[in-house]
Amino acid sequence: VPDRIPLDAPAIVGRRPRPPRVVRGVAPRLVAVPSPLGEISGTHLGLRQDAGVIVVTDLDSTNGTVVLAPGAEHLALRPGESLVVVPGTRIDIGDGVVLEILSAR
């Protein structure tokens, strides 16, 4: 698992991520993460930068995505749901894999 995932292109995160059938614009970066218990879907989560904000999307995952925004309640995304997130937000996709949104340097 890479330490950092740059969002100069959209990213798709999962156990065995696959690109969408139709790609609009820049092809997504595929990021494979370990899932020894099978809690993470093959294609679980999408991350993209859009008009200066970061958008996270649950890609119809089986076991869900939990967003932990700073100073806010935990939020379970519904399958297919998208959410704008801020730096410091943590995204739990299962099997101990938690992604943290960092500021651009």
Q: 102 pLDDT exceeds 70?
A: yes
Q: 2 pLDDT exceeds 70?
A: no
- At 97, which amino acid appears? V
**Quick check: pTM over 0.75?**
yes
Q: pLDDT tens for residues 17-76? A: 998 888 788 899 999 999 999 999 999 999 999 888 999 999 999 999 999 999 999 999
Sketch out the chain's domains with CATH numbers.
11-100 (2.60.200.20)
CA distance 69 to 91: 8
pLDDT for 20: 85
From the number of C-beta atoms within 10 Å of its C-beta (0-12, 13-18, 19+), residue 44 rates as buried
Do 32 and 14 meet the contact criterion of CB atoms below 8 Å apart?
yes
pLDDT for 50: 86
Q: pLDDT tens for residues 75-98? A: 999 999 999 999 999 999 999 999
